[in-house]
Structures are given as C-alpha cells and as structure tokens.
Amino acid sequence: MKKGFSLPLWVAGAARSALKKLLGLPFDNYEFIKIPNENKEIKIEIHSVGLLKGDSHALGISFAKSGLDLDITQNLEIWTIASLEKISFNNPVQINPINIIAGSGVGINEDTSEICISDFAKEVLYNNLLDIIPDGFKLNLEIIFPNGEFLAERTSNKSFGIVDGLSIIGTSAETFSSASPDQLEEAKKKLAKLIKNDFNGKVVFVIGENGFNLAKTCNVKLPIIKVGNWIGPLIVDAAIKKVQTLILFGYHGKLIKLAGGIFHTHNHLADGRIEILVYLAVKENVPTDIILQLSHLNTLEDALLMLERFNKSIAEKLFQNLSNTIEKRSFTYVNRYVRTDMKIATIMFDKKRQIRWSGTNGNDYVSYFQRD
C-alpha cells in the first residue's frame, strides 16, 4: 500500500514554513508535524516559501501526497499566507491566537460562510503553530487551493452545502483508501477491538466523513466505526462477530446504493442511485411524467427536491420506504454468507445534516442521535 498522509498535515506543513519565513527563521524543505494525541511527528515536504507585500506576509507552498491514486487531494497544490497582527490588550474579549481564513478554492459553509475545516485539522494547525507565534501577536492564516474550486466539482460537497472549493477534512494523520482492501482490514480490526470491551451488542457503522462528524456532534453513546465503501463485507464481519444490532448511519446519497444491492459503494465502481429511486417511485405508483423527470436528474438531492415540489407526503413516504428497503436488502445480503438474526437498522440524514428518515428497525434508535 502506498504511504500517504491526510490533507491537514500538508496544510500545517506549508503554514509552519510560512510563519518561520515571516519570523526570519531558516528554511528547510521539510517540516516535522506533531500529531494530536500521539507521541510522534511526521516529516512533510515543503515545496517553497517566500515573502510578500513588503515582507509583512509570507507564503508557504506544499503539494499533498495522500498516497491514494483516486483521492481528490493527491498532488493538490496548497498555498498558505501568514501574517502577524499585534494584539490589543485593551480588548477584554479573549483573542483567538490563530485566525484561519478560507482563501480561493477552499470550501465554506453556504449558510454561515465559515471555512469548512475538521476539528482534527484545527488541532494539527494549533499544535504546530502556537509554539512559534510571538508573544503579543495573533496569526492570520489564509489557506488557498489554486485548483480547489475546479476539483470540488468532482465531489459531493454541494450536496452538503459546502461551496467554493474543497473542505479541509480528515480525522487521522495517515490516509486509507475507502476502496482499498487495506481500509477493509483496518475497519475489521477496529470492530474486533470494540467488541472486547464492555460490549452491549450494538454497533454504529457511520458512512463517510460527514456521517462520522454528525454522529460525534450527536454524542452517540454507542460504539462507532467509520466505514468506507466496503459496507457489505463489514456487515458480514459484524454478523460473524455476533453483533446483535447494527445501525447504519449515513447520507441518503450513499446508503441508497444498498437498496439496489450495491454493497461496495465507491462511485468509481458503482452508482445507480437515480435508477434505484426510479424503481422505488414506480412501486409507489408515482405518475409516469414525474418518473421520467426523475430519470433525467443527476443527483439524489435534486430528485428529492423535485419530489417534494410534486407532493411532500409522497416524497416522505418514498424515502421512508427507501430506509426499509436498505434494511431488508442488507439482511438478505448478510444471510447469503452467514446465517444470522442480527438486526440491521437504518438512519439517514439529508444535505443539511438533518436526520430525516429511518427504517422500521431504525425507528428504535433515532433517539440515540438527538443533538444535546
């Protein structure tokens, strides 16, 4: 497996090199980046640094090496522009020592205009910049992805209300391809470890980064494993390990594939989302002209909006049946490989990260996902 590191580390490397240049410290073509909650550092290659705007700003450039050929951030060009601002101690409000600014190509939340950055990414930046920010100053750090807006068109960011570029996400230092067998084995190891300690028989499989972040926000009091695209084999593994209840928690645009019998969900291998929805619409006796319109849409979110405009109650019933179909198809799938009575529950959220639908089994666990 190719060795690679997540986007936050490459951003932090470029940022640290820019700040060091601003402070007149010598340039190295690498930075050692400290990993939060781990007693280790990772060597990150830096492409170049330079001073800007009469030496009041410094630019650091790196190129992300995720090690994953299909990853959107592989070889992503990263610019970070650092500048220091003197703190006014007359202001009683606590000063944030690092102001992270979304520059060109970096995704922002459509509703709030805030930069889309994970908690892990913020931790990496703080852990590696705070120690060299001079006393009495705060750091303004602008992050730019020159090709970010173009590359974001190949992601599902817009479905989640993220616009203008790529999100700075990641929950760990090392990268694992969601489509590679290594990612499957990693998830299996996590599951084996979880069921050893005070296990009550219930496990949550969260689908993707958005599902994982939302589950943490909801403060779910159950063991959680972030799974990639190997959903089918992991469901089977859960049954083999005698899990009693498996809760599938994720975005409807991902989980719908299970309703069509697609249990490896990477978009490079299989799609069929609109086709599955059309099939369910036919079963619900949706008018033919509406079904034809559905069949020409590109995204599930567009399909949901169109159905809601046509008839909100029919749209709600259709997606409710989608949740039930996911539970039934998943149960049938797992019993092809191992005889089990493991309960499979489905809970789905929409692009606004609102929990909207659950299957018959999922209804029993929706309360676990309520925000405090």
pLDDT of residue 215: 86
CB 121 within 8 A of CB 106: no
Alpha helices (H) in 195-230, listed in sequence order: 208-217
Residue 51's alpha-carbon distances to 62, 134, 225, 295, in angstroms, are 15, 18, 44, 53
Structural domains in the chain, CATH included, are: 7-166 (3.30.2110.10), 181-369 (no CATH)
Taking CA 128 as the corner, what is the angle to CA 124 and CA 133, rounded to the nearest 5 degrees?
A: 130
Q: From CA 179, how far away is CA 159, in angstroms rounded?
A: 21
**What tokens does 85 get?**
């601002």
pLDDT of residue 334: 94
Q: From CA 167, how far away is CA 73, in angstroms rounded?
A: 10
Give mean pLDDT in consecutive 10-residue pieces for the chain, a chain of 372 residues: 78 97 94 91 95 93 78 88 86 75 93 91 95 94 95 79 88 62 75 81 86 83 84 91 94 90 72 90 91 90 90 92 95 93 94 90 91 64
Contacts of 255 (CB under 8 A, 6+ apart): 207, 248, 326, 346, 348
Angle subtended by helix axes 231-240 and 312-335, to nearest 10: 60
Cα-trace Rg, the chain: 23
Q: From CA 18, how far away is CA 51, in angstroms rounded?
A: 8
pLDDT of residue 1: 43
pLDDT of residue 138: 93
What DSSP designation does 158 have?
G
**Ramachandran region of residue 285, left (φ > 0), alpha (ψ -120 to 50) or beta?**
left
Residue 165 in 3-state DSSP? strand
